[in-house]
A = this chain, B = another copy of it.
Amino acid sequence: MLNVAVMGCGTVGSGVVEILLGHVESIARKAGDEIRVKYILDLRELPAQWEDRHITDFSVIEQDPEVDIVVETMGGVGAALEFTRRALLAGKSVVTSNKEVVAAHGCELNRIAKEKGVCYLFEASVGGGIPIIRPLSQCLAANEILELRGILNGTTNYILTRMIRAGLSFEEALAEAQEKGYAERDPSADILGHDACRKICILSDIAFGRHISPEQVPAEGITGVTLADVDYAGAAGKKIKLLGRAVRQADGRICACVAPHLVDQADPLAGVEDVFNAIAVRGDSIGEVMFYGRGAGKLPTASAVVADVIDIASHQGHRKAMSWDEGGDDVVCSGDVLKSRWYVRGEGDLSAALGCVQSLTRADAAPAESACITEEEMTRSEAEKKLTGVKVLSLIRVLD
């Protein structure tokens, strides 16, 4: 028998408890051992049927030698980080869905886990229930990973989908997402790209083997995307998607960014709608593979947490540790090295500034407005330099 303590019984945590209690037999069969939920740590009240497991003091978990696995579904980096460290140091494996902690402190926590001979797993931290961490670290292990790109945030993908399909403005689509519970009351982590940024960092850590901090990765959200841009993109056969990207350069450094992109409608990523997520991985042997599914939600995310619990149980003490090396300024390079075509919306004669362009039109265009896609690939600073003196309203990368 293995004992699990769940810390944080919010949306994901309560889903973990429900799955562990609701599938006892099939989980025991897969794990090779019975898995018991011994404690649920939360300051809030719990449903009556879980009350006998309810604790409010972390040290109970820390000091109970029977607890083998701690599930951290608290969120945030304060207590969640402290309790994770202390649980690992106490020789307990930790499973988490907390992307903020993994992105900022994964390297250190992996090291502690390795020293203590326990596991620190976080399949649920990226892509909700979509299997991506394990496929990337194990199934694609024979590849040098060349590029990652993904729709990593369901909230912004929902907002963009509604702008594209229903013609809602950004503000209207955001309000609808909040009503439906897809966006939080303070949506800034989603709409400013910070959530996607944490996720591309975690994927990069695994894919490239060195720590990349969210602070090293420029993140641009979707607050600047207008219906005019959506229309022009549509006229070019493209959709606007918020992508997290990480591209390995010839010198081995990683160029990572989060930004809206114009994605061709024939690209599999363009078909990823609503709150769905997708992650495309390009490797030197495999070519491109893509993983697609619900990137958030109670049970999808909880099922990824429970899969990690089962994995630890079934390999008792012998699961190979996940790890990557410390980061540094030499790991990443400026987002500006990434050349691409650009979509530009502005006032006046854009082709005079940019040279060869594909001009775009739309109904209801403002009189002075024009828009185009450059034919030449260039860095952002090259594009900005060419556009000196032009009134630029939007400047968005084109994914080729």
- Give A contacts to B, CB under 8 Å: 15, 19, 23, 26-27, 29-30, 32, 123, 129-131, 134-135, 138-144, 209, 268, 271, 283-294, 297, 299-300, 302-307, 309-311, 314-315, 318-320
B-side contacts of A143, CB under 8 Å: 303
Q: A26-B144, A134-B135, A142-B23 are in contact. Are A286 and B268 (CB under 8 A)?
A: no
Q: State whether B139 touches A134 (Cβ < 8 A).
A: yes
Nearest-neighbor residue (CB-CB) of A297 within chain B: B287
Chain B residues within an 8 Å CB radius of A32: 320
**CB contact under 8 A between A131 and B142, given known A32-B320, A285-B19, A294-B287:** no
Q: Which of B29, B144, B289, B304 contacts A131, CB < 8 Å?
A: B289
Closest partner residue, chain B, to A305 (CB atom): B142
The reply to whether A139 and B144 form a contact with Cβ atoms under 8 Å apart is: no
Supply 27 A–B pairs (Cβ within 8 Å), ascending by A: A19-B142, A23-B144, A26-B144, A32-B320, A129-B286, A129-B289, A131-B131, A131-B289, A134-B135, A138-B311, A141-B307, A141-B310, A142-B304, A142-B309, A142-B310, A268-B271, A284-B299, A285-B299, A285-B300, A285-B302, A286-B304, A287-B299, A289-B291, A289-B294, A290-B290, A290-B293, A315-B320
CB distance from A32 to the nearest CB of B (A): 7
CB-based contact A299/B315 at 8 Å: no
Determine which residue in A209, A314, A320 has the highest number of CB atoms from chain B within 10 A of its CB, and name it.
Answer: A320
Contacts A131-B131, A142-B302, A315-B320 aside, 16 further interface pairs with beta carbons under 8 A come to A129-B287, A130-B289, A131-B135, A131-B138, A131-B139, A141-B307, A142-B309, A142-B310, A268-B292, A283-B303, A286-B294, A287-B299, A290-B293, A291-B291, A292-B292, A315-B315
The residue in chain B whose Cβ has the minimal distance to the Cβ of A285 is B303
- Residues of B contacting A300 in the complex (Cβ-Cβ under 8 angstroms): 285-287
Q: Complex: how many Å from CA A147 to CA B123?
A: 22
Shortest distance between the CB of A215 and any CB in chain B (Å): 27
CA distance A300 to B299 in the complex (A): 32
Q: Is the CB of B290 within 8 A of A292?
A: yes
Supposing A135-B135, A268-B271, A315-B319 touch, asked if A27 and B289 sit within 8 A by C-beta, the answer is: no
Q: How far apart are the CA atoms of A218 and B307 in the complex, in Å?
A: 33
**Complex-state Cα separation, A283 to B294, whole angstroms:** 12
Residues of B within 8 A of A304 (CB): 139, 142, 286
Asked if A141 and B292 sit within 8 Å, CB to CB, the answer is no
Q: B302 to A293, Cβ gap below 8 A? A: no
The 8 Å CB contact of A293, one of B284, B286, B315, B318, is B286
Q: Are B307 and A142 in contact (CB under 8 A)?
A: yes
Contact: B307 with A140, CB < 8 Å? yes
